[in-house]
Chains A and B, each alone.
Chain A
Amino acid sequence: MDVSELQTFEHDVLVIGAGGAGLRAAIQCSARGLNTGVISKSLLGKAHTVMAEGGMAAALGNVDSRDNWKVHFRDTMRGGKFLNVWRMAELHAKQAPARVRELEEWGAVFDRTKDGLISQRNFGGHRYPRLAHVGDRTGLELIRSLQDHGIHQGIHFHMECTALGLLKDGDRIAGVVGYWRETGRFVVFKAPAVILATGGAGKAWRVTSNSWEYSGDGLALALHAGAELMDVEFTQFHPTGMVWPPSVRGTLVTEGVRGDGGILKNKDGDRFMFKYIPAKFAAETADTVEEAERWLEGDKKARRPPELLTRDEVARSITAEIKAGRGSPHGGVFLDIASRRPADFIKRKLPSMYHQFKELAEVDITKEPMEVGPTLHYFMGGIRVDAESQMTKVPGLFACGECGAGLHGANRLGGNSLSDLIVFGKLAGDGAAEYIKGMGNSPTTDAGQIESIIRGATDLLNRESGENPYVLMDELQDLMSRCVGIVRTGEELQEGVDELEKLSKKVAKVKAHGASQYNPGWHTAIDLQSLLMVSQAVTRAALMREESRGAHTRNDFPGERDEWLKYNVVIRKAADGTLDVEKVERPPAPANLSEIANAKIEDLESGKVGKDA
């Protein structure tokens, strides 16, 4: 192989990923005068972000003027069970409003309030209506606004180009090797700064709202390059995915349904969430149907219905109902908006849910309840970064969006992801610009590294025989669903670790048939490598955390343990290629922030607490 013959691009920054985070980061890099490239596995505008439904959280205070960044911050910390990186939760709550308004400057058209401002809707765990939205297609609005603005900013978009490996010059980042899906040819990007914005790894589970793109590539790339992962045991199961028909099992049903008044019932018609209100949220949750109904009618004194508890609570409650034999015919529970809101309201506020159920399940949600159950949805954990600059441990390597860790702690609030993307996307762009400003000489790429990355990919095609990648993908999904589910035990997790070890031997022998041009079998074989590595990281982190917190539930260690609040589980790749999993002590909580997060809501609103923050 003659590396010098390979197609080569030079950029100041290469952004890997064209979802909300990647696009926002690229726009910032370009605004800072950097020569910016973006690569993405799929076409521009098709990333996961396009699927987001319910909205993006920002304390604009347009619908309820009592809202402000402190309440948003407090909600985020409480939702994350206080494991969030304090500074990130602060930056996010403070900067989200400006980032959302900026989207309007770039052409986004949000739903409006009566006064002509950006409207905001209720969502789980958010004290006030806080989610800027466009019906139930907010992600489409976000990605299209960034895309249509971004293409005029001099950014170089390389579509359907997958990153295979990162290049380093000593400790520093030097570039990326990728391949074009269209031709199967390899390409080198020389870049002193690389921003990972690759999203999560939900494809390791069978029932998931995630697509083929979510194979954890960014996490694996980061590990290989010497960066660390953090909090990956916290995998969010969204409480409401479709359960029927089988082919759409896992497809998301937005929390907006509950935000707009939908309720959960078991097969006996019982509104069961009232039974599952945890002590911690009792003071702020309605405990009678009557009070919950008053809240829906807009009574500001009424507390929020229990259907709007945080996702971890709702998902566990649904699982408990199903286990107790009170589930719906296809193994879920009922989500009913039909009896709560008029048909035209539902069609206007939830058009894509209406469409989705009508077309895919032949259910008219304005007339009948939906059947729903938990679905693997989101990675709270990911690549460990510095809160201010989004830089990883590796100089020149940055991460933002779902592939990054820290903002959400043990559980993410709905709507906090889209705002995460634009807040930390921008900060990552700034971080990269600062890094380049302070950088000495430019790094150089190494032919040996390039060759070995390429050989890793071509081997999968060239070997004589081997396992079918789709079969192995299936085995992995079976294994993760069985051993690393919504409720976990040490025994199952250990089994998971052992089985993954066995599976990794098979994955090492996977064989893709056909040529390299647009070959999904080959792509799957490549994706499997990342997915397996991330699955191992998740399983081992879950085994290490001996408590139940947020989205991580251990049957053998029920309840939160104060001791564990002091630690993050951090993972890195050891010299021999195996994973090092370690408990790392968290820095102490900043006093002013801790006061806000722990304040009684009345004290926060009256200004008794957090006045000068």
Chain B
Amino acid sequence: MAKRTFRIWRGDVKGGDFEEFQEEVSEGMVVLDMIHRIQAKQATDLAVRWNCKAGKCGSCSVEINGKPRLACMTRMNIFGPDETITVQPLKTFPVIKDLVCDVSWNYKQNRRIRPFKPKPKGEDGQHRMYQDDVDRVQEFRKCIECYLCQTVCHILRDRDKQDEFIGPRFMIRVAGLEMNPLDDDDRVPELKKEYGSGMCNITRCCTEVCPEHIGITDNGIIPMKERVVDRFYDPVVWITSKLTGKPLKRTTKAEDDAAGGKTRDDR
């Protein structure tokens, strides 16, 4: 098979540039194979992250010809015969070296989300929930944390705003908890006040790039936004909840803690 031309970004935080490589492509290869071939033969210190080589771990996220993709799932035969293939690190996060960037910001966002809190078990000592009730939650749990959605979200691309919005990956993490039939916590006030759910203007760019085909916007973000609206802006829902059963809170845990354990709503 023929030689192909690759332009691969090389450098670190201090700066860098594209370097051109020619390399032989064989049948069935993906872009990650080519990067490895270049690494083995021409640039032994070319940095790239990978693990499973089968779209399961979300390590190999890069931008290929301007599009955020998994390098291990991008077949070489999708490119035209003379097309040059340009590979660069994700633009939204600071580069470490070559194709590797610092995604630690995402791990920090995850920590901000209160973890799953189980309801008590049934009398037989078992938790019961039904497949129909968990299908949606399982859809969100397919996430491989490749952060491609985080990368394309225009809010996060503007790094100054990164403190205001946790991003699509973590919106569906919250959705997966809120929709879990066994979860006994409430993160709706946080969604609005801490996680920045109002910032998303439903462009659906995140959904388009998700390699797991998760309906991030329609199945996750929009229902979460609706819960926020119901809670904060719908007086009927709010009053009924105060009169019946479990009151729906409008304060976050942080606000409650600051108020000495009492919720502001109660005061």
Contacts and interface: CB of A to CB of B under 8 A. Distances in A.
Given A109-B137, A515-B45, A182 B116 contact: no
B56 A50 contact: yes
B162 to A, nearest CB: 19
Contacts, number: 161
A458 interface: no
Given A46-B58, A148-B115, A248-B28, A140 B144 contact: yes
In this complex, the interface size class of chain B, counting residues with CB under 8 Å from chain A, is 35 or more
B106 to A, nearest CB: 9
Contacts of A115: 128
Interface of B: 12, 26-30, 33, 39-41, 44-59, 73, 75, 96-98, 100, 102-104, 107, 110-111, 115-116, 118, 126-131, 134, 137-138, 141-142, 144-145, 177, 180, 182-183
Interface stretch (A99-107, A218-226, A282-290, A553-561): A99-107
Interface in A219-269: 244-248, 251-252
B27 A246 contact: yes
B145 A45 contact: yes
A149 B115 contact: yes
Contacts of B182: 104
A453 B173 CA distance: 41
A531 B67 CA distance: 36
Nearest to B143: A144
Pairs of residues from A and B, 4 with the lowest C-beta to C-beta distance, nearest first: A245-B28, A514-B45, A107-B116, A521-B44
Contacts of B126: 101, 117
Contacts of A47: 51
B89 to A, nearest CB: 11
Given A211-B52, A248-B53, 6 more contacts: A51-B54, A107-B180, A117-B126, A211-B53, A248-B28, A518-B100
A144 B98 CA distance: 28
Contacts of B104: 159
Nearest to B106: A43
A137 interface: yes
A517 interface: yes
A140 B75 contact: no
A112 B45 contact: no
Contacts of B59: 42-43, 46
Nearest to A525: B44
A345 interface: no
Q: By CB atoms of chain A within 10 A, which of B48, B57, B103, B145 has the most?
A: B57
Given A211-B51, A518-B96, A520-B47, A112 B57 contact: no
Interface in A510-529: 512-515, 517-522
A141 interface: yes
B215 to A, nearest CB: 14
A12 interface: no
Given A112-B130, A151-B111, A521-B45, A137 B28 contact: no
A213 interface: yes
A295 interface: no
Contacts of A50: 51-52, 56-57, 144
Contacts of A34: none
